[in-house]
Amino acid sequence: MTPEIQSQKSRALCELAPVIPVLVVGDAARAEGLATALVAGGLPVLEVTLRTPAALDVIRAMAKVPGGHVGAGTVLTPDDAKRARDAGASFAVAPGLTETLVRACDDIDLPLLPGAVTASEVMRAMEFGYRMLKFFPAEAAGGAKSLKSLAGPLPQVSFCPTGGVTPQNAPDYLSLPNVICVGGSWISPDAEVAAGNWSAIEARAREAASLRG
């Protein structure tokens, strides 16, 4: 799957909702309930970061939830990408971009949403064929103002900013012509996940789903 096709598929996923929940889940037993609540709240695209020992089991469980599209975040190596795909991930998200990772995702037909923050990094991604990118860490890299500046010389590239995105600043990002959606971790607080408070998480997901229109 070429980077051009990967970007088309990634963009199609990003267009499904204004927010992609970024999830760090340590207990796979909570995965199905969490995914069900998020999808019911109008957020069908979920990013499960590979930052816990349970992450692959979480992806396996969430991939079974009807209406959901589960991807793996913090994908750093070809092995990460393969394990994520084998667990049921339908896309991968990386904080940056390497040629090795690009080739691996091409070989295993896994759409990759790679990260970039500088004009040079964006141009390098474009050389590979990517037109849909992650902007990370968004707030630390200048926030909405930086993304707005990139839209001038690089209008053909679209972004999903993550890192420091909140309900308060998300509208600033979503108002930009080169932003398709944002990624955020505020929708599923650890305490509510641990308690299985799915109704509260679903309500928060509904609020996030309404951020754009």
Please indicate whether residue 134 is annotated as part of the active site. yes
Count of Cβ atoms closer than 10 Å to residue 177 Cβ:
10
Nearest by Cα to 84 from 59, 62, 102, 67: 59
How are strands ordered across the β-sheet holding 112-113? 112-113, 91-93, 69-73, 45-49, 19-23, 182-184
CB 92 within 8 A of CB 112: yes
Which of 4, 9, 47, 99 does the annotation list as catalytic? 47
Please indicate whether residue 64 is annotated as part of the active site. no
CB 38 within 8 A of CB 188: yes
Q: How far apart are CA 178 and CA 180, in angstroms?
A: 7
Which of 99, 134, 139, 145 does the annotation list as catalytic? 134
Which residues participate in catalysis according to the annotation? 47, 134
